[in-house]
A and B are shown apart, each in its own frame.
Chain A
């Protein structure tokens, strides 16, 4: 007599990790505690990395010089997310953009809110909306989201090397 095949067993796995940010990221995170965005400069090219990860990826060199960058910048490109993810609690649709902060030489991903998804565009100027300073910690989560500044759009020329 054929038995029903077993097609799966559940084997729960729990592993705990203590992630260490490292020396360079620690400096960046300490900056965030006081509301500063501290990029780091590549010693070979002079380019400012934001967020910094401790090395110049193109040269394999430590980035030791801190450079404060603005909490406003330019949307270089973006997408509109209409998919609900279990791990995020954001209401859809929301805008996920590559933002080139003034003073940085590399864009980074962040959410843009307080904008009509039909209005978001490449070149739009945006600024960070921070949590109340009393809630600041050593985390990028101090920034809730970015929102339009209302400034005139940046020229294509000003960010074309960053998409």
Chain B
């Protein structure tokens, strides 16, 4: 038994380094109210609320959805809280989709958020933990060696990451909700920015943002007046251990398997041909070519060619992160759901200036932990 599920409402905040104009409650409501308005629904129409965010230490409140139950419109309803590291936004969307597909609920509100300015996120990420290896160098220090290994393996040109960094920031100029707005960005500017974790430069990293994203997911018989649903045609999630002997941290098996399952369920045989646009979780620019290979958009060692040829640009044959992506807005807990939401906006034809013409099938992708948690979905303008 699997019911059809569609995205009928999408909402997001204006993401920024510090939304000091809003409380945590206000932040989630800014996104949720927009999603409800888009779906033509009111709070009372919602059957259940699913919330996702990254570690609670980021805001200093343990299980904050409980103290925000009223603001989330959840009182008297089921309220679930998902936490799967960086992939959490995507996982949260999938938990909600399963509630609808499983025939449990008709209309589910999904909210994923992070208000990093409430506490000190870098302290949280670099907390000294007894008995662990003493070195701490932040998320970039963890991922940079894998990027170096990718560069060495693929022989990619050294400016591949720079190209991605510029492309995504130019895309962000077309997205009214994006955090970073850098109209003057150039390849020279990125190349000249501080080399934080060689080979990662400052402008090749994502910002730290406050923001939220909300979706309304609806069963087929509860679409109401929605004229442009985005149908969920396939979902997949996979996890693997953080570290184990023989692990490929550049091209993780969990990502390969997750994509394979996603394509199998969605009837996709050639993702680059069949999928019109994809929103991929790229927190460091080099992850674009790495994920192109991991997700089967390119052959092994050739992901960089898609970037360098312009294939991943807004007007390319496989636009990646038309919204500006994680490189332009990164409210951690929401970043995965934003990918899923942007995919839905594309197939609904509602992406505004960053709309990819004629997009009918779109992919949302999120990953987390040490490149070990993956969550993905495919949405379509056509009913499956």
Contact A96 B137, CB 8 Å, known A21-B131, A82-B198: yes
Which residues of A sit under 8 angstroms from B133, Cβ to Cβ?
51, 108-110, 140
Tell me whether A80 and B198 are in contact (CB under 8 A).
yes
A87 to B197, CA, bound (A): 16
Contact A77 B134, CB 8 Å, known A7-B20, A13-B60, A82-B194: no
Chain A at the B interface: mostly helix, strand, loop or mixed? loop
The A/B interface has a contact count, at CB < 8 Å, of: 123
The answer to the question of B358 belonging to the interface, with a C-beta cut-off of 8 Å to chain A, is no
B35 CB to nearest chain A CB (Å): 25
A14 to B378, CA, bound (A): 44
What string of 1s and 0s marks CB contacts (under 8 Å) between B181-214 and chain A? 0000000000000111111100000000000000
Contact A80 B197, CB 8 Å, known A19-B131, A96-B137, A140-B134: yes
What string of 1s and 0s marks CB contacts (under 8 Å) between A79-94 and chain B? 1111101111000010
Which residues of B sit under 8 angstroms from A117, Cβ to Cβ?
198
Contact A79 B144, CB 8 Å, known A8-B20, A85-B138: yes
Q: What residue of chain A has the Cβ atom nearest to residue B194's Cβ?
A: A82
Interface size on A, residues (CB 8 A): 48
Tell me whether B197 and A83 are in contact (CB under 8 A).
yes
Tell which of B20, B122, B135, B194 touches A110, judged by Cβ atoms closer than 8 Å. B135
Interface residues of A in 132-155 (CB under 8 A from B): 139-141
What string of 1s and 0s marks CB contacts (under 8 Å) between B211-253 and chain A? 0000000000000000000000000000001111111111000
Contact A88 B141, CB 8 Å, known A8-B20, A79-B200: no
A96 CB to nearest chain B CB (Å): 5
Contact A58 B148, CB 8 Å, known A87-B136, A96-B135, A109-B133: no
